[in-house]
Amino acid sequence: MRPDLAITYGQDRLPRYTSYPTAPHFSPAIGVADYRRWLRSISTRRPASIYLHVPFCRSMCWYCGCHTSVTRRDEPIALYASGLRTEAHLVAETIGQRLPVSHIHFGGGTPTIMTPETFADLVGALRYSYFVLPDAEIAVEIDPRTLTEPMAEALGFSGVNRASLGVQSFDPAVQRPINRLQGFEQTATCVERLRRAGIDKLNFDLLYGLPLQTVGSCLDTVGKCIELRPSRFSVFGYAHIPSFKKHQRAIDEGVLPGGAERHSQSEAIAEALVGAGYVRIGFDHFALADDSLAAAKQEGRLRRNFQGYTDDSAETLIGLGASAIGRTPQGFVQNAVATHDYLARVAEDQLATVRGYAFTDDDRFRADIIERVMCDMAVDLSKIARSHGRDPHTAIVNRRRLDGLIANGAVTMDDDRLSVSAGAEFLVRSVASAFDAHLPSSVATHSRAV
């Protein structure tokens, strides 16, 4: 742990690099016609992934940075699920062949806000339109406060084999100012229901940097979570951007931890998880040694996408739902963000794409560098440059930033091989940003580097 580096670089606002280029660089210049053409060129020889966004919750968590809204009624959710089924069919019809699928991820919002019957029908529609491989990973994000026994059974019946549970913190003093009261027993009951339904690959999501949060409360939460022994943990720093998410204005900025305290919380959580037998994956994930994510890291197969670190190697991601982002070998596409706009488009049998980004050769070169930095904490610039027919000396965009990281001992350079130093892994986003050709002209507001 290097607290001095946290003080020096912790206030920098940088992308999380779950994609490159990042979403703020998407443009309306890429639309339906482009996506239709890209879909028709997809090879069905390699499996793809599917992401479905469900933008509904029963209550708003004030820390949330996702596209979601609150509803107390089931009718809007059923209507939206019908839209997802329609879009899934439209995309499959455009591809023209039955696309094999190796990963399906339901994100939100709260995907399990659907009724059990609606969820099962939706998965059935996906299986009808696509060839979901027998060993496919089907994952769903869950709010433990709302998962019912019938829904857990429906998840198991539908073939779900991984679940991500939002925990954040078990400290009531932290939960109250973020409008998310969730007891340990509620979470334990959720875990029991999922395991009883045959879903034993579980991920827990934790946050640090929340209002009134301390190292002690972080460690107390981690200790309770370890009792439930999930397969993976994702540990994120709270991104306070009230100009982007207006509900975050309900959080008192005066009780948010500073940069040094955020770093202490992050490192305390990491040390506790490693001490409990979890392998550190990248800078914010942890997995048991027998989990597929740990194996991917060990074998150099780790990837990074919109869900964070993954062992999913698919080149194509089909994004379904309002605001969902998809990827083809040619570029990114994003659907209409507003739910009513999205539903209006699919109701007219139109693809819902409203913006995107077409990759250049330079983007592909830099994307490979940034992904290896983020996943391996190291990169061989010469090796990647050769694979792209490029000069490795053209890779570095922000030489001043990289030289500063080297001078501070956060990075070492041996010829064209870069490595992030032990104890400086939390600065990997700062390292990656030195290769980002779009960042100097970006006006987007990103989360803190620490």
Residue 12's pLDDT is 79
Instruction: Report which of 124, 97, 110 is spatially closest to residue 61, judged by C-alpha positions.
Output: 110
Q: How many angstroms separate the CA atoms of 339 and 2, rounded?
A: 44
Helix axes 215-228, 259-275, angle to 10 degrees: 30
Residue 291's pLDDT is 97
Residue 97's pLDDT is 94
Residue 450's pLDDT is 67
CA 14 to chain centre: 16
CA 124 to chain centre: 25
**CATH numbers and ranges of domains, the chain:** 1-13+360-450 (1.10.10.920), 14-325 (3.30.750.200)
pLDDT tens sequence across 279-293: 999 999 999 999 999
Intervals of the chain under pLDDT 50: none
pTM equals 0.95
CA-to-CA separations, 60 to 69, 115, 180, 342, in angstroms, rounded: 7, 20, 8, 21
pLDDT tens sequence across 44-60: 999 999 999 999 999 99
SS3 355: strand
- Cα angle 238, 239, 242; round to 5: 125
Residue 274's pLDDT is 97
| Cβ-contact 10, 450 below 8 angstroms | yes
Residue 5's pLDDT is 80
Residue 319's pLDDT is 98
Residue 445's pLDDT is 64
| Cβ-contact 55, 67 below 8 angstroms | yes
Instruction: Report which of 161, 86, 123 is spatially closest to residue 321, judged by C-alpha positions.
Output: 86
Residue 296's pLDDT is 97
If you search the block for the tokens 């397969």, which residue do you land on? Answer: 231
Helices and strands: H and E segment counts in the chain: 15, 21
